[in-house]
Amino acid sequence: MSYERFETPAASPWKSRLALYWQLVRGDRPIGWLLLLWPTWWGLWLAAEGMPPLWTLFVFSAGVWLTRSAGCVINDYADRWLDPHVERTKGRPLATGAVRGREALVLFAVLMLAAFALVLTLNRLTILMSFIGVVLAASYPYLKRYTHLPQVYLGLAFGWGIPMAFAAVRGEVPALAWLLYAANIVWSTAYDTWYAMVDREDDLRMGSKSTAILFGDMDLVAQGVLYGLFLLALLLVGQRAGMGAYYWVGLAVAAALIVYEFAIARGRDRAACFRAFLHNHWVGLAVFAGIAADFALRGT
């Protein structure tokens, strides 16, 4: 497959190109960054048992934005032949030819190198683990061609900041980190299935694969199982970490928000499924608020 979908894209002023690059990294759509940020902060706060060191917090927060942006670029590069045929994605810069494939690859490399430069300020274990993160981020977009489980792989990639956070703060990755990582995998699979349900008809027509297609008419049942496993894993995390009342309140709020998602998406309407996907930002925030409040207010 050629680098380019269009061999001679129209030239545009540099300001317009910057706007196109901003669109390519989804700078105008922070939902993906937030869905990646909250689990990373879960890991940082649990690893530090409270507020993590400020530099570590900065490295991981900035790294989340950089790696998520890089992931969007490589995703659009991988899908540059598919996106023009999908209603939701046909206007993306690579799909229209406004940005060239070679430009996208350079931008991906710059973003990942910037993230790696930040990681180099941390300990050796965290640096070594970052290479796995690069592989996960770069390979994820190609999974939909070969398996119905790209949403699971997204969870692996989106949650890798959790074991890295423990490595950076504690110099090791305990069982608690892997349990939290597992919770994020099933959560990411669930919310990205809502996203896949938006594109299901287009994906079927183009031969792309997803959990939404795999689950078929049992999609809402499967979603219920996934979210149930997510809450169960967080319950076990709370018990293992010795969390208190504020954590359990945060978890209860997250559970109520998940129930609301099913209420709005029960008809499987595209717009409703997309709203359910976006709503997971609040789920992640509720869990983080419970963790942060529990550590901050212990003994008060």
CB-neighbour burial class of residue 185 (10 A; exposed 0-12, middle 13-18, buried 19+): buried
Q: What is the C-alpha separation between 82 and 90, in angstroms, rounded? A: 9
Lowest mean pLDDT among 55-69, 202-216, 223-237: 202-216
- 146-174 residue pLDDT tens: 777 778 888 888 889 999 999 999 999 99
3-class DSSP assignment, residue 49: coil
Q: 294, 299, 70, 277: which is closest to 193 by C-alpha?
A: 277
Average pLDDT estimate for 236-245: 95
Q: Which pLDDT does position 299 carry in this prediction?
A: 59
Q: Are 50 and 293 in contact (CB under 8 A)?
A: no
Q: Could you tell me which of 187, 207, 178, 212 has the C-alpha nearest to residue 282?
A: 187
Task: State residue 210's pLDDT score.
Answer: 81
On whether the CB atoms of residues 250 and 286 are closer than 8 A, the answer is yes
Rounded CA separation 257/22 (Å): 31
Percent of the chain scoring above 90 in pLDDT: 52
Q: What average pLDDT does the chain have?
A: 87
- In a 10 Å sphere around its CB, with 0-12 CB exposed, 13-18 middle and 19+ buried, how is residue 105 labelled? middle
pLDDT at 25 over 90: no
Predicted local confidence at residue 298, as pLDDT: 77
